[in-house]
Amino acid sequence: MNFSSDTAAPAHPALLAALNEANAGPAPSYGADRWVEAARRGLEDMFETELDVWLVSSGTAANALALGAMCPPTMSILCHAEAHIERDERGAPEFFTGGAKLSLLPGDHAKIDVAALKARLAANNPDFVHETPLRVMSLSNLTENGAAYSAAEISERSAMAKAAGLLVHLDGARFANAVASSGASPAEMSWRAGVDVMSFGATKNGALGCEAILLFGEARSLAEELRARAKRAGHMPPKMRFLGAQMAAYLEGGLWLDLAGRANAAAKRLSELFTSRAGGRIVHPVDGNEVFVELPDAVVAKLKAAGASFYPWLGGSFRFVCSWATGADEIDAVGRVLG
């Protein structure tokens, strides 16, 4: 009963098989191979547009490199106060941008509040030398509290940011889960809604370690800057074919969406068990593969005694994360503990 994180899950066999196939013989270095090209073509098909892509092995690298290419050190990045780039990346965005500031906003379920965004954009004054003016707005989908922005919600916030001259970044470490729950297309949840640059995650959803930085539309002009920053930061893998092989296999036949759907379904069933059998109170929408729930102390003690792994969260709730590999047996085991 491991609900600690989707990063604790194993890699999917299809991706491991792809790695083994890519390991047969020599191949060009630094991304000039057929697997990286296959991944790029697959991403263009999936997002229904031309794009530029750079592959890295972690979500922190993807976010920090992307923001580094988007935001100069003298400007700032708007994000939610509980965004992953604020809470969990040890200052990597500030480091990779060379000192850009994170400007934090409130909002329920870790979604940026529209009124707060409007007020902050209105107060922005790039001509005032003492201020750190805004350059980028970063959204997370899923949010750090497991909620999904709809395509309309992304579009609304993106339009406001762009009217103020900002670029829009999307942290999509769990983008697959957001798409699976929304029913919208990847395009509708990204560039068509105003996203310029995004991190598209695979590691939490079946990869051994693979994330993609995607540049859409006019932001494709940042490709050479991103490439240079990746090299300088040590994120230009000589054997990038092994990242490309993972991403290409992840996209093949819609595997990425199927795996996310499995994880989401497990989370829904788990949340229903907590509310129906444990007196639990769900504190954030179960829009993906995460359940945030307040539980009686006795239930928490029983789950821990039975060997369940999960984390306490802000505000007194607990976080349970399902993955593509969460089986019915694990959910059934929780049900038996709850009685």
State the sign of the Cα–Cα–Cα–Cα dihedral 295, 109, 183, 5: negative
- Is 309 found in the same domain as 245? no
- Is 162 found in the same domain as 31? yes
Among the candidates 254, 277, 298, a domain finishes at: 254
- Is 72 found in the same domain as 178? yes
- Is 220 found in the same domain as 92? yes
Examine the pLDDT at 314 and tell me if it is beyond 90.
no
Give percent of the chain above pLDDT 70. Answer: 100
- Is 135 found in the same domain as 31? yes
What is the arithmetic mean of pLDDT over 79-93? 96
**pLDDT grade, residue 282 (50/70/90)?**
very high
- Is 30 found in the same domain as 171? yes
Examine the pLDDT at 333 and tell me if it is beyond 90.
yes
**pLDDT grade, residue 339 (50/70/90)?**
confident
CA-CA distance, 159 to 164, in Å (whole number)? 9
- Is 35 found in the same domain as 79? yes
User: Domain total for the chain?
Assistant: 2
Point out the least confidently predicted range of 109-118, 124-133, 152-161.
124-133
> Considering only CA atoms, which of 110, 77, 107 is closest in space to residue 92?
77
Question: Is residue 103 domain-resident?
Answer: yes
- Is 175 found in the same domain as 297? no
DSSP, collapsed to helix, strand or coil, labels residue 198 as: strand
Per-residue CA distances from 28 to 52, 78, 183, 239, 303 (Å): 19, 39, 38, 8, 50
Average pLDDT over the chain reads: 97
Helix and strand totals (H; E) in the chain: 13, 11
Question: Is residue 130 domain-resident?
Answer: yes
CA-CA distance, 63 to 159, in Å (whole number)? 21
What is the arithmetic mean of pLDDT over 111-127? 96
Among the candidates 234, 254, 274, a domain finishes at: 254
Question: Is residue 279 domain-resident?
Answer: yes
Question: Is residue 1 domain-resident?
Answer: no
Q: Which CATH number characterizes residue 154's domain?
A: 3.40.640.10
Examine the pLDDT at 297 and tell me if it is beyond 90.
yes
Mind listing the pLDDT tens digit for each residue in 39-54? 999 999 999 999 999 9
Helix then strand then coil, in percent of the chain rounded to 5, is: 50, 15, 35
Q: Which CATH number characterizes residue 265's domain?
A: 3.90.1150.10
What is the arithmetic mean of pLDDT over 156-176? 98
Examine the pLDDT at 313 and tell me if it is beyond 90.
yes
pLDDT at 160: 98
- Is 111 found in the same domain as 224? yes
First-to-last C-alpha distance (Å) of the chain: 16
What is the arithmetic mean of pLDDT over 78-97? 96
Domain containing 315 equals: 259-338
184, 152 Cβ separation under 8 angstroms: no
**pLDDT grade, residue 127 (50/70/90)?**
confident
Among the candidates 254, 289, 321, a domain finishes at: 254
Examine the pLDDT at 60 and tell me if it is beyond 90.
yes
Mind listing the pLDDT tens digit for each residue in 235-246? 999 999 999 999
pLDDT at 326: 98
> Considering only CA atoms, which of 171, 149, 162 is closest in space to residue 93?
171
**pLDDT grade, residue 88 (50/70/90)?**
very high
- Is 281 found in the same domain as 234? no
Examine the pLDDT at 172 and tell me if it is beyond 90.
yes
Contacts of 150 (CB under 8 A, 6+ apart): 182, 184
- Is 194 found in the same domain as 119? yes
Examine the pLDDT at 144 and tell me if it is beyond 90.
yes
**What pTM did the predictor assign?**
0.96
